[in-house]
Amino acid sequence: MTVTLSGGGVTVTLPLAGDTARTQGYARWRVENRPRREPLTVYEGQDGLTLTIPCLLDRAPNGSVEPEITRLERLATPKKAGEEPPIVTVTGPVP
């Protein structure tokens, strides 16, 4: 199985090395302790979505993984100073 990441004119397809997982992006709660009373649980909102995608970078014995690493870095880096990185679309077996 593979996963494809694309954004900002950059596309990289990598073989998966395990299961993808949603590791953040759930409800965020805070517990307030109150003197001589039960604690109060307060909803504070939702964290941004974070996916963990284990990928295999392997071009042994004669290749280099540097082109894939460069493309992955470009997905996480703004094209110009002061701009935001591109929005990344993930295609494949993700939650």
Whether residue 43 is predicted with pLDDT greater than 90 in this model: the reply is yes
pLDDT in tens, 44-73: 999 888 888 898 888 878 888 898 899 989
pLDDT band, residue 19 (cuts 50/70/90) = confident
User: Residue 53, class by beta-carbon neighbours within 10 Å (0-12 exposed, 13-18 middle, 19+ buried)?
Assistant: middle
What is the model's pTM?
A: 0.65
Give the model confidence (pLDDT) of 67-94 as tens digits.
889 998 988 889 888 888 888 898 888 8
**For residue 2, what pLDDT is reported?**
87
State how far the Cα of 94 lies from the Cα of 51, in Å rounded to an integer.
8
Decide if pLDDT at 38 tops 90: yes
Report pLDDT for 41. Answer: 97
Residue 79 is predicted with a pLDDT of 85
pLDDT at 92: 85
* Helix, coil or strand: residue 30: strand
